[in-house]
Amino acid sequence: MDDMVFLNGRFLPRDKAVVSIFDRGFIYGDGLFETMRSYNGMIFALDLHLKRLVDSARLIGIPIGQNRKYLTHHLDKLLEINDLTSGNAYIKLIVTRGVDYGRLLPSGSLKPTLLIITKPIDTKMELYQQKGIGAIFLSNKRSLPYIKSLNLLPAIVGLMEVKKMKMQEGIFTDGDKILEGAVTNIFVSDGKGIKTPPIKDGILPGITRRIVIDMAKRLSIKITETSLTKNELLRSKEAFLTNSIIGIAPLLRIEDKLIDNGKPGALTKRLQQAYKDTILKGLIP
């Protein structure tokens, strides 16, 4: 189970799938990725993920020749091969600029590398949704925040610090300003509406972040995209984190301080239920 991957047009055992040491993704982190989640074999928000991938690839000049039909077919096929068409699965699609024997500046006419990985969802994700998450502040931020670049060293170093502190997430900061989590977007609430940092502050335009903003508007929950401070987060009535794998998870603690009473808030729970309903509707053919 989950021991096959898709690499450059072929389905291969994961221990047989290799790329050249001259692949620019390996040498320079020159590539992109999308992380998605499937529910009983259906990939949620697939169109949004593929659009972001294509838009980001265009922005940095990686020519993705495969169309949506090609990618969708092989994503679905890999889930089937790995017996992941029932239950929930983690999916990662990676594109690099390809093999290049030149210098830092890319050579012309390179063939991109395409890799797809699938595996069962970590059971901790459901626990985080129910029981909540603790986080710490990190004094750094994501490189190239507007795209899902393979350059993840700030997140890696940050999460190593998070593990030392026995927490689950780190919040990138810019001085007193909060930006986003190492792998999540962040929302805070005064109990009446919700706020989230704007894209212009230098954060990833998360797919789940976008879905939550749209849901809040449909539910007539006041939603504001505005810069936020550490103090606003610490004094909030409730807060939550989002990404495609975790969905919506309550943020209950920042370092040694509880958010309000340290329990999931009413707005968070309401949005969690709306998100579940959105998933069900989104997976209906």
Catalytic residue status for 148: yes
Alpha-carbon distance of 165 to 202, in angstroms, equals 26
* Angular region, 191: left φ>0, alpha ψ -120 to 50, beta rest: left
Closest CA relative to residue 242, chosen from 196, 176, 278: 196
| Cα Rg, the chain, nearest whole Å | 19
Segment holding 11, helix H or strand E: strand 10-13
Q: What tokens were used for 33?
A: 């990725």
Inter-axis angle of helices 46-60 and 207-218, nearest 10? 130
Q: How far apart are CA 97 and CA 111, in angstroms?
A: 7
Q: For residues 196 and 175, what is the distance between their CA atoms, to the nearest angstrom? A: 17
At a CB cut-off of 8 Å and minimum separation 6, what does 143 contact?
A: 149, 151, 153, 154
Residue 97 is classified by DSSP as -
Distances (CA, A) of 191 to 203, 264, 270: 24, 12, 12
Question: Cα(77)–Cα(133) distance, rounded to whole angstroms?
Answer: 34
Question: Which residue among the candidates 148, 195, 200, 276 is catalytic per the annotation?
Answer: 148
Catalytic residues: 148
